[in-house]
Each structure stands twice: as C-alpha cells, then as structure tokens.
Amino acid sequence: MADRAEFLESIRHRTRTGQYKPTHAPDVPWTPREEPPESAPIEDPPARFLEELDALGGHGRRVENLDEARDYVVSLARERGAKRLIRWDVGELEELAVDGPLREAGVEVVLWRDLEDFREVAAKADIGLSTAEGAIAETGSLILTSGPGKGRTVTLLPPTYVAVLPADRVLRTVPEAIERYAEAGGLPANICFHTGPSRSGDIEMSLFVGMHGPGDVHVLLVG
C-alpha cells in the first residue's frame, strides 16, 4: 500500500491541468489543457440568486420589508391548504410576526424544540419555515447552520419549505462564503448548502422531485 506522500502525489498528478489521461488514446486529457475562463462578475447577487433558484425549480421573491414577507407566507399556507407550520425558534422569525395571522387562517404553528419526538412532529408539518445564514448567487444555494432553536428537520421534512433572509446576505460565490467563515475563525460544526428542491435520480435516469427533502422551496429576500 502506498504511503501518505505517494497517495497525495497521485492525487496531485491526476488533478494537474492537462496531465492525467484515463485512456491510452492520444490527446485525451482528464483535465483540460487550458484553464477555464473566468466567469463574468456577478453585479447583482440577489437578482442572480433568484434567477438560479428559478432555474432549479424553486420560487424566489425579493420583498421590501417583513410585512410583505409575512403576507407571502400566510398566502402560501392558504394556497397549500396547510394545517401545520413548523418554524425555527429564533429572534428573526419572532420579528416576522407570522404566528398570529397563520393561526387566524386555521394553521397550527409549532416552534422547533430539541425534543425526542420532534422528528415526528416535523414530519407531519405541511410547511417548514426558517431563516438562513446566507445564500450563494451563482448556484442558487442557501447556507444553513444548525444550533439552539434551529433544527435541521424543519428544513428537510415538510413538503413545502420557506426561507426568509435579508437580501444583503446573498454572496456571489461558494469560495467567497468559505473565505468569510475562514476570516471569522472557521466553519461551524454543522453547515449545509441547500440548492433548490430535493431531486433524486435512479438507474433508469428518472428524476423525482421531493423524495429526500422538500419539493416545494420558496426563498424571500428582504430589503
């Protein structure tokens, strides 16, 4: 068995531009001989994020304030015929003040708690509601971290999922997001990049939306 140095050198060889060839055919490099051209700079990250999310089959909207965001969530709950909404127990969603209007519309609102049976509670919810640490414009991804009041099941188990976050949290690229965390002292213990509705494909190349996560994803960028 190769030692650690040999193993790492093998990886470097296979990923070096224009070097590694998986076949004996001439001029068939595994990696391109030329470095890929740089992508055009993203001038308006929120607009690009919404564009990419739409291409993924998600639903995004930029709203001016929390009042518009609240109205959207309540209207969505009515459209989906929701009976239960489960949300993160965080201050930002307290400011959204959506619990009262939802209950008036006949929707039970449950706050996530770290309880043994909360996976079952979340699985029976029609809508999950959370904030997000940030978003990535070039991929249409949300950056989600877990912690007190922020259970992952809220973002994964309900068939419809809604995220509400300030528009100024949208970053341009994944490396920019990683750099931000590096400058702040490193990545959190649990960080996820959620990109649009859940998709699963089988060996017959059939695509199914919503198999391992929400198939109906909505993101509201506030401001």
pLDDT at 159: 93
Q: Is residue 53 part of a domain?
A: yes
pLDDT at 207: 46
> What percent of the chain clears pLDDT 70, i.e. is strictly above it?
73
Average pLDDT in the 140-145 region?
92
Amino acid present at 114: D
Task: Inform me whether the pLDDT recorded for 137 exceeds 60.
Answer: yes
Q: Is residue 34 part of a domain?
A: no
Candidates 193, 192, 107; CA nearest to 158 is 107
pLDDT at 174: 87
- Tally the domains of the chain: 1
Q: Is residue 117 part of a domain?
A: yes
pLDDT at 45: 94
Task: Inform me whether the pLDDT recorded for 168 exceeds 70.
Answer: yes
Structure tokens at 47: 């607009």
**pLDDT mean across residues, the chain:** 82
Domain holding 89: CATH number? 3.40.50.10420
What would the pLDDT profile of 81-129 be if each residue is shown by its tens digit? 999 999 999 999 999 999 999 999 999 999 998 666 788 888 899 999 9
Q: Is residue 38 part of a domain?
A: no
Average pLDDT in the 28-46 region?
69
* 204 vs 77 pLDDT, higher one: 77
Average pLDDT in the 33-62 region?
85
**Domain with 67 in it:** 48-222
pLDDT at 2: 55
Q: Is residue 190 part of a domain?
A: yes
Task: Inform me whether the pLDDT recorded for 139 exceeds 50.
Answer: yes
Q: CA-CA distance, 168 to 162, in Å (whole number)?
A: 18
Lowest-pLDDT range, 105-114, 146-155, 186-195?
186-195
φ, ψ of residue 142 in degrees (nearest 5): -95, 145
Q: Is residue 29 part of a domain?
A: no
Q: Is residue 101 part of a domain?
A: yes
Q: Is residue 19 part of a domain?
A: no
Strands (E), 4-150: 59-63, 84-87, 108-111, 127-130, 134-136, 141-145
